[in-house]
Amino acid sequence: MTTPELPTQYTPADVETRSYSRWESEGYFRADPGSSREPYSIVLPPPNVTGVLHIGHALDHSIQDALTRRARMRGKEALWVPGMDHAGIATQNVVERKLGAEGLSRHDLGRQAFVEKVWQWKEESGGAILGQMRRLGDSVDWSRERFTMDEGLSRAVQTIFKRLFDDGLIYRAERIINWCVRCHTALSDIEVEHSEDDGELVSIRYSDEVVVATTRAETMLGDTAVAVNPADERYTHLVGTYVELPLTGRRIPIVADEHVDPAFGTGAVKVTPAHDPNDFEIGRRHSLPSLTVMDEHGVITAHGPFQGLDRFEARPAVVAALRAEGRIVAEKRPYVHSVGHCSRCKTVVEPRLSLQWFVNVGPLAKEAGDAVRDGRTRIHPPELAKRYFDWVDDMHDWCISRQLWWGHRIPVWYGPAGEVVCVGPDEQPPAGYTQDPDVLDTWFSSALWPFSTLGWPEKTADLSRFYPTSVLVTGYDILFFWVARMMMFGLYAMEGQPPFQVVALHGMVRDQYGKKMSKSFGNVVDPLDWIDRFGADATRFTLLRGANPGADVAVSEEWAAGSRNFCNKIWNATRFALMNGAAVGELPSDLTAADRWILSRLQHTIEAADAAFEEFEFAKVSDLLYHFAWDEVCDWYLELAKIQIAEGRTGTRLVLGHVFDALLRLLHPLVPFVTEELWQAVTGGTSVMVAQWPVADPRYRDPAAESEITALQELVTEVRRFRSDQGLKPGQRVAARLGLSGTALAAQEAAIRSLLRLEEPGDGFSATARFAVAGVSVEIDTAGAIDVVAERKRLEKDLAVARKEAAQVSAKLGNEQFMAKAPEDVVAKVRARATQSGEDIARLEAQLAALPAG
RNA sequence: GGACGAUUAGCUCAGCGGUAGAGCACUCGCCUUACAAGCGAGGGGUCACUGGUUCGAACCCAGUAUCGUCCA
Give the nucleotide with minimal C1' distance to the Cα of A545.
B23
Give the nucleotide with minimal C1' distance to the Cα of A627.
B22
Q: Residue A637 — very low, low, confident or very high, per pLDDT cuts 50/70/90?
A: very high
Q: Quick one: pLDDT at residue A854?
A: 55
Nucleotide B55, nearest residue via CA and C1': A818
ipTM of the complex: 0.95
- In CATH terms, the superfamily for domain A529-701 is Isoleucyl-tRNA Synthetase; Domain 1 (1.10.730.10)
Residue A817 has pLDDT above 60, yes or no: yes
CA–CA separation, A831 and A529 (whole Å)? 57
Region A576-581: mean pLDDT is: 93
Nucleotide B22, nearest residue via CA and C1': A623
Q: Using the 8-state DSSP alphabet, how is residue A408 labeled?
A: P
Highest mean pLDDT among A289-298, A502-511, A519-528, A657-666: A657-666
Using DSSP's 3-state secondary structure scheme, residue A696 falls into coil
Q: Write the burial class of residue A282 (CB in 10 Å: 0-12 exposed, 13-18 middle, 19+ buried).
A: buried
Assess contact for A181 and A296: CB atoms under 8 A.
yes
The mean predicted confidence, pLDDT, of chain A is: 89
Q: Would you say A821 is a known binding-site residue?
A: no
Percent of chain A having pLDDT more than 90? Answer: 49
Domain boundaries, chain A: 185-351, 529-701, 732-850
Give the nucleotide with minimal C1' distance to the Cα of A713.
B40
* Spacing of A818 CA from B52 C1' in Å: 20
CA–CA separation, A574 and A618 (whole Å)? 24
Assess contact for A222 and A270: CB atoms under 8 A.
no
Nucleotide B28, nearest residue via CA and C1': A724
Give the nucleotide with minimal C1' distance to the Cα of A508.
B69
Residue A850 has pLDDT above 90, yes or no: no
Query: Is the link from the previous residue into A468 a cis peptide, with omega within 30 of 0?
Result: yes
CA–CA separation, A601 and A612 (whole Å)? 16
Residue A302 has pLDDT above 80, yes or no: no
* Spacing of A631 CA from B38 C1' in Å: 14
For residue range A770-795, what is the model confidence (pLDDT) as tens digits? 888 878 999 998 877 778 888 888 88
Four-CA torsion A87, A88, A94, A98, nearest 10 degrees? 140
Nucleotide B17, nearest residue via CA and C1': A822
A493 Cβ contact partners less than 8 Å away, ≥ 6 residues apart: A160, A163, A448, A451, A456, A457
Task: Pick the closest to residue A597 from A714, A706, A751 (CA basis).
Answer: A706
Q: Residue A551 — very low, low, confident or very high, per pLDDT cuts 50/70/90?
A: confident
Percent of chain A having pLDDT more than 70? Answer: 99
Task: Give the CA count within 13 Å in the CB-facing half-sphere of A114.
Answer: 22
Which stretch of A365-374, A380-389, A618-627 has the lowest confidence by average pLDDT? A380-389
Region A698-710: mean pLDDT is: 94
Region A129-156: mean pLDDT is: 94
Give the nucleotide with minimal C1' distance to the Cα of A642.
B34
Q: Residue A58 — very low, low, confident or very high, per pLDDT cuts 50/70/90?
A: very high
Residue A719 has pLDDT above 70, yes or no: yes
Which stretch of A345-354, A567-576, A720-729, A817-826 has the lowest confidence by average pLDDT? A345-354
Give the nucleotide with minimal C1' distance to the Cα of A723.
B41
Region A49-59: mean pLDDT is: 90
A521 φψ region: left (φ > 0), alpha (ψ -120 to 50), beta (else): alpha
Residues present in chain A in total:
854
Region A470-488: mean pLDDT is: 89
Q: Residue A3 — very low, low, confident or very high, per pLDDT cuts 50/70/90?
A: very low
For residue range A434-472, what is the model confidence (pLDDT) as tens digits? 999 999 998 899 999 999 999 989 999 999 999 999 999
CA–CA separation, A455 and A725 (whole Å)? 70
| Residue, of A260 and A420, whose pLDDT is higher | A420
Residue A4 has pLDDT above 60, yes or no: no
CA–CA separation, A585 and A657 (whole Å)? 8
Which stretch of A74-78, A292-296, A362-366 has the lowest confidence by average pLDDT? A292-296
Q: Residue A249 — very low, low, confident or very high, per pLDDT cuts 50/70/90?
A: confident
Q: Residue A5 — very low, low, confident or very high, per pLDDT cuts 50/70/90?
A: low
Residue A2 has pLDDT above 50, yes or no: no
Residue A711 has pLDDT above 70, yes or no: yes
Q: Which nucleotides of B are covered by protein (CB under 7 A)?
A: 3-5, 11-14, 18-19, 22-25, 28-30, 32, 34-43, 54-56, 69-72
Residue A126 has pLDDT above 50, yes or no: yes
* Spacing of A289 CA from B11 C1' in Å: 60
Tell me whether domains A185-351 and A732-850 share a fold. Answer: no
Over the range A13-44, which residues count as b (16 or more CB within 10 Å of their CB) and which as e? eebbeebbeebeeeebbebebeeeeebbbbbb
Beta strands A378-380 and A500-506: pairing type?
Answer: parallel
* Spacing of A794 CA from B43 C1' in Å: 14
CA–CA separation, A609 and A696 (whole Å)? 10
Query: What pTM did the predictor assign?
Result: 0.90
* Spacing of A106 CA from B12 C1' in Å: 48
* Spacing of A226 CA from B20 C1' in Å: 64
Fold adopted by A185-351: Isoleucyl-tRNA Synthetase; domain 2 (3.90.740)
Nucleotide B34, nearest residue via CA and C1': A576
* Spacing of A769 CA from B64 C1' in Å: 56
Four-CA torsion A711, A716, A719, A724, nearest 10 degrees? -140
CA–CA separation, A510 and A523 (whole Å)? 9
CATH of domain A732-850: 1.10.287.380
CA–CA separation, A478 and A743 (whole Å)? 60
